[in-house]
Amino acid sequence: MGTFISHSSVGLGTWSGGLGGRIVMKRTSVPFAIGMLFVALNSQAVQAVCTCAADVNNSGILEFVDLVITYDCARAGLCAGCTAANGCDVNCDGTVDFVDVGAIWWQFVHNPGDPCNQPRGACTPTNPGNAPPCVVTYEEVCTGQLFVGTYYGNGSTCQNGQPQPSVPTVSEWGLIAMTLLGLVAGATLLLRLRRSTLPQ
Ligand SMILES: [Ca+2]
Ligand SMILES: [Ca+2]
């Protein structure tokens, strides 16, 4: 089988070989490769910045109608009013949902902290009348005057219109398992000590 030799156009080194090929990296190209990696990572970091822009109708000010427009987009896909650069996807996660509504509300009432990164969970709204039976949003938005709903805890979700409790993460399961193992080990040790101190 013939040998294919390729020269990288960005100077990252030379790859040679057919199926049994090997990578040959010139020593002088290593710092350049590291530099390119930093450039790539930095450009990704710049792209990842989200301004959490709540002026979804691009009117120049944050107003209650921004909230209504985003609510209608999340509820019924009525998104014609979302004329900002990111539309109504305020938190830039690729979807328009009630967390975006929460992020607007957070700014509308001048709450401190990052409006796009607050804990969220399932909520069963009672207001407005056309609200879905279960939405995922921030607790304050859920229980406040916007949704006047019941909040089911951070990390809870909605499935088929019903709130679902939060499931512990892998690390939380690990902590639970370690605690149980520690309790069992402690009880075993106590039992052995008791037996050893009993008169024979
Ligand atoms: Ca606006
Ligand atoms: Ca979003």
Q: Are residues 71 and 128 in the same domain?
A: yes
Q: Are residues 140 and 75 in the same domain?
A: yes
| Residue 118's pLDDT band (cuts 50, 70, 90) | very high
Q: Are residues 33 and 103 in the same domain?
A: no
Q: Examine residue 58 and state whether it is found in any structural domain, yes or no.
A: no
Give the number of other CB atoms < 10 A from CB of residue 187: 10
Q: Are residues 77 and 158 in the same domain?
A: yes
Which ligand is in closest contact with the Cα of 54? Answer: 1
Amino acid 181: pLDDT:
78
Which ligand is in closest contact with the Cα of 56? Answer: 1
Q: Examine residue 196 and state whether it is found in any structural domain, yes or no.
A: yes
Listed residues: CB within 5 A of ion ligand 2: 89, 91, 93, 100
Q: Are residues 128 and 110 in the same domain?
A: yes
Taking the centre of ligand 1 as the mean of its atom positions, its distance from the CA of residue 74, in whole angstroms, is 17
Q: Are residues 113 and 160 in the same domain?
A: yes
Taking the centre of ligand 2 as the mean of its atom positions, its distance from the CA of residue 108, in whole angstroms, is 17
Q: Which residue has the higher pLDDT, 175 or 108?
A: 108
Cβ pair 122, 136 in contact under 8 A: yes
Amino acid 198: pLDDT:
65
Q: Examine residue 1 and state whether it is found in any structural domain, yes or no.
A: no
Taking the centre of ligand 2 as the mean of its atom positions, its distance from the CA of residue 161, in whole angstroms, is 19
Q: Examine residue 5 and state whether it is found in any structural domain, yes or no.
A: no
Taking the centre of ligand 2 as the mean of its atom positions, its distance from the CA of residue 100, in whole angstroms, is 5
Amino acid 30: pLDDT:
57
Q: Mean pLDDT for the chain?
A: 81
Q: Examine residue 90 and state whether it is found in any structural domain, yes or no.
A: yes
Domain range for 193: 170-200
Q: Are residues 79 and 158 in the same domain?
A: yes
Taking the centre of ligand 2 as the mean of its atom positions, its distance from the CA of residue 104, in whole angstroms, is 11
Say yes or no to pLDDT of 68 above 50. Answer: yes
Considering Cα of 22, then 26, then 27, then 29, what sign does the dihedral take?
A: negative
Q: Are residues 106 and 158 in the same domain?
A: yes
64, amino acid identity:
F
Q: Examine residue 75 and state whether it is found in any structural domain, yes or no.
A: yes
Q: Are residues 176 and 154 in the same domain?
A: no
Which ligand is in closest contact with the Cα of 60? Answer: 1
The domain total for the chain is 3
Which ligand is in closest contact with the Cα of 82? Answer: 1
Q: Are residues 68 and 158 in the same domain?
A: yes
Q: Examine residue 153 and state whether it is found in any structural domain, yes or no.
A: yes
